[in-house]
Amino acid sequence: MILFYQNSNKILAMASKSMNRYYFSEFRDLLNMTNALILVPSRYGSTRFPGKPLAMINGKPMIAHIVQNCQETGFEFAIVTDDERIEEAVKIAGGKSVRVDEDVSTGSERIALALDKYYKDQNFDYIVNMQGDEPLMRAQYIKKVVESHAQSDFDIFTAVKPRSGEESSYLNPNIVKAVLSQETKACLYFSRAGVPYYQTGEVKDWSQHIGIYSYRPEALLKFSKLKPSQLEICERLEQLRALENGLTIGATKLEVELLGVDTPEDIKKVEGVMGE
């Protein structure tokens, strides 16, 4: 007889001596489970929108929507913050927060600090960097990124939204574009410029990058120790640091309308989508 106990996607198993011995990873594979940790960087300070994580969306703080989306994945998660007001809001929403006060330049560096400080002795297969200002990033999308990563050999996995035409969006520097290999799903480059460039002048198919990352733990820790790269500084895109230093990034396609909250005016737009 084999007894299973599941808690936060960790499996403990006991088998009788008469049966073959299975190791932890084999049990997890047998049950088709993914051992992932979601870490959400959430800072109170924002140049354009101070206190953004606590902005009310449909009657509750934005960070509470993030907590709910994380809970529905079934993965272990924590909000990584530097502010006690966010900690309190997360607690009220039924979530967990961890404190990282260090001043770092990227969200991935922040979650790497949290991983090293609070989860050093825990064996997660994937660490998810989920944006704290993307309340429309539902559980099914998060799970798809992680599950796609689990079926690949990439160091890092992310998501893109297929786009066609829409020249104004294609040329908008606030919309990050990804260049993918259709054969391997590898991300070759990311840019704020319109890429790939269409020499004919007619914009056709392109990919919009969606800001969620699934890291293998060793890849995240390696990334966090690297200095900002030339292309990263030029484009202000942290994922270019990974590419320039030999880390591989894959992507899955999501047919979804995501609206990040960058300014107070974005709240109504998000509420409109939630109400659809």
The pLDDT, as a whole number, for residue 166 is 86
187: tokens are 């991300």
Angstrom distance (rounded) from CA 205 to CA 101: 42
CA separation, residue 80 to residues 33, 44, 95, 108, 118 (Å): 25, 11, 11, 11, 11
Average pLDDT score over residue span 124-141: 96
Report whether pLDDT(138) > 90.
yes
Bridge-partner residues for 11, per DSSP? 6
Which of 147, 132, 118, 123 lies closest to 214, judged by CA? 147
Average pLDDT score over residue span 28-32: 43
**May I ask the CATH class of domain 34-274?**
alpha beta
Contact 38, 75 (CB under 8 A): yes
Average pLDDT score over residue span 50-74: 96
pLDDT in tens, 165-191: 988 999 999 899 999 999 999 999 999
Report whether pLDDT(42) > 60.
yes
140 alpha-carbon distance from chain centroid = 13
Contact 156, 240 (CB under 8 A): no
Q: Which of 23-32, 43-52, 102-111 has the lowest mean pLDDT?
A: 23-32
Residue 151, Cβ neighbours under 10 Å: how many? 10
Average pLDDT, the chain: 88
Contact 191, 176 (CB under 8 A): yes
